[in-house]
Structure 1
Amino acid sequence: MTILNGFLPFRQRVGGVKIAGAIGGSGPPLLLLHGYPQTHAMWHAIAPSLAASFTVVAADLRGYGDSDKPADDAEHATYSKRTMAADMVGLMEQLGFTRFAVAGHDRGARVTHRMCLDHPDRVTRAAVLDIAPTHHMYRTADRAFATAYYHWFFLIQPAPLPERLIGSDPEFWVRSKLAHWGRTPTAFTEQAIAEYVRCFRDPAAIAASCADYRAAASIDLVHDDEDVRAGRKVLCPLLVLWGSAGFVGKRYDVLQVWREYAVDVQGHSVPGGHFLPEEAPAETLAALQQFFG
């Protein structure tokens, strides 16, 4: 299902998994990827406006929303950002788009980063919302980072510890994450929250999201180290946005950090905390329209 006004829901088989989402609008293709613990519904405040100028594809990452949630493997390759990026490239190709722009928030931004590195011939322009590169964040981890991003270290604990604890009250967990990382309590509509909670009540979604974070602390870092050693960087134009009141902007020199990983970087902060498309929809929309325009 979708809460994006004017959009048509889809479930498209890509390789061995079905990827769910919604498509709307007309014009150049623009892929939107959500973060944790959300679904493609997080774009509800800006996707209809983007659809006036673009064919917008808002997708649920594997393991999230209504997309399939395959069982993880010992190496966590099933939920590596390489695998998740390949899902989205395959999805866009099946929808008829061999080249496209992409904007990702949180986990979706990490998938976007990997997509730009693995599929530079497919991505024309990319935007990453409220993240620093995973490689940099782990490499510079300290007490402040571990305190603010405690979930990175909780979710990677061996199963079934985080799964059982989160599964005891998924709605509390989702609402607490929105409150913890957001700075604008009125930003989240009850319709959107209900959709996040509906999807996160599935034990398979909880397990898959833990696998996503386990991959980030293992196989994803192997892939990142290989790229750094080889000198591979994001080649397409990259827009970086972050919340002015959030941890990322306060902790990192965001643009300078991204210039270590990409060759053409621009960006700025927008008001609020971590959830830019819901906390600062007007500012986020304007930045995306100008960049992708």
Structure 2
Amino acid sequence: MASTALFPAFRARDIEVAPGVSIHAIVGGSGPPLLLLHGHPQTHAIWHRVAPALCERFTVVACDLRGYGDSSKPPGDAEHTQYSKRAMAADMLAVMRSLGFARFRVLAHDRGARVAHRLAADHPQAVERMVLLDIAPTVAMYAQTTEQFARAYWHWFFLIQPSPLPERLIEADPAAYIRDVMGSRSGGLAPFDPRALGEYARCLALPGAAHGLCEDYRAAAGIDLEHDRADIAAGRRLPMPVLVLWGAQGVVHACFDPLREWRQVADRVEGETLPCGHYVPEEAPEQLLARAMPFLLEADA
């Protein structure tokens, strides 16, 4: 498995979080617990360039979201609850508790950052502080969709189409989907380690992976919006410190104001752009570490 070569100092774990559902994780390092969550269409392999430095200061737990990587891929349901960010966040809480961590920090990218948002909203006592990479809140991004955004993030609207159309098209050539989606961003394919690209392609070709990926997005366009809007209506805000970082060459920077949007839902937000595109941990690992490490190490009064 390519992930073994990318993370030689880590040990792999498969942790049952619900009947018939297990989450694949790798664990390494020592110190305060830090949960890492990846984005689409990737796996925990996105962290290979920052994991060694993080392991010097933290006990790092890098997980594959349900439906992705080597985690379980349960069948979807009519309301897409199996892939709601609430369900995916509960997975991660169960993983960390199984490892003995009642409170922890979070560093999350893309889809994983949406899971982190829900984790912090539903379980604020568990999340000490978190870093969110290259997203604005889901409800804000849908509400402010423009033609520019829709053209650039076409996959948001392709993946939510009823099953099995998008699944069938992805399954016809999973490696091509990886290359085309990731290679169409600002940096092309040049920033990516071939071993990581191979891992993404291997995992997307696993049975049920295309369906899990689509269900993640279907949930985001439905039940996740219901949960987010309920929080807003009730005045529930994220109380922990939040650092938001995004790529200066990315679509989020071009189409949204991440700091403004996160300050609508969280009390303590700081952040800035980094000199990269969407795939921050792989495109700008040194800059990410320089900005995120001091924040993650800071102790709350």
Report the counterpart of residue 216 of structure 1 in structure 2. Answer: 220
**Match among 256, 271, 293 for residue 260 of structure 2:** 256
Report the counterpart of residue 266 of structure 1 in structure 2. Answer: 270
What is the CA distance between 1:186 and its match in structure 2?
A: 2.4
Amino acid in the other structure paired with 2:10 = F
Amino acid in the other structure paired with 1:13 = E
Which whole-Å CA distance do the structure 1 matches of 2:212 and 2:188 have between them? Answer: 28
Which whole-Å CA distance do the structure 1 matches of 2:41 and 2:189 have between them? Answer: 16
What is the CA distance between 1:5 and its match in structure 2?
A: 2.9
1:187-234 CA distance string (max 9 Å, x none): 101000010000001240000000000000000011011001011111
Percent identical among aligned pairs is 53
Q: 1:171 to 1:178 in 2, by over 3 A?
A: same
Alignment of 1:4-19 (within 5 A): 4-16=7-19, 17-19=21-23
Which whole-Å CA distance do the structure 2 matches of 1:5 and 1:271 have between them? Answer: 28
What is the CA distance between 1:181 and its match in structure 2?
A: 2.5
Q: Secondary structure at the match of 2:267?
A: coil
C-alpha contact 2:129 2:240 (8 A) present in aligned 1? yes
1:40-93 CA distance string (max 9 Å, x none): 011000011100000000000001000000011111000000000000001000
Greater shift in the superposed pair: 271-280 or 137-146: 137-146
Q: 1:173 to 1:34 in 2, by over 3 A?
A: same
C-alpha contact 1:243 1:249 (8 A) present in aligned 2? yes
Report the counterpart of residue 92 of structure 1 in structure 2. Answer: 96
Question: What TM-score results when the alignment is normalised by the length of structure 2?
Answer: 0.95
Report the counterpart of residue 286 of structure 2 in structure 1. Answer: 282
What is the CA distance between 1:184 and its match in structure 2?
A: 5.5
**Match among 63, 75, 78 for residue 74 of structure 1:** 78
Which whole-Å CA distance do the structure 1 matches of 2:237 and 2:51 have between them? Answer: 29
C-alpha contact 1:184 1:273 (8 A) present in aligned 2? no
Q: Secondary structure at the match of 1:186?
A: coil
Alignment of 1:33-52 (within 5 A): 33-52=37-56
**Match among 237, 244, 247 for residue 248 of structure 2:** 244
Cα root mean square deviation, aligned: 1.0
Which whole-Å CA distance do the structure 1 matches of 2:189 and 2:206 have between them? Answer: 25
Amino acid in the other structure paired with 1:266 = E
Which whole-Å CA distance do the structure 2 matches of 1:110 and 1:158 have between them? Answer: 22
- Give the count of matched residue pairs: 293
Which whole-Å CA distance do the structure 2 matches of 1:187 and 1:49 have between them? Answer: 19
1:105-162 CA distance string (max 9 Å, x none): 0000000001110000000001110001000011111211211111111000001100
C-alpha contact 2:182 2:188 (8 A) present in aligned 1? no
Gaps of 5+ in 1: none
Report the counterpart of residue 142 of structure 1 in structure 2. Answer: 146
Amino acid in the other structure paired with 1:213 = Y
Alignment of 1:43-192 (within 5 A): 43-183=47-187, 185-192=189-196
Amino acid in the other structure paired with 1:11 = D
Q: Secondary structure at the match of 1:257?
A: helix
What is the CA distance between 1:262 and its match in structure 2?
A: 0.7
C-alpha contact 1:110 1:133 (8 A) present in aligned 2? yes
Question: What TM-score results when the alignment is normalised by the length of structure 1?
Answer: 0.98
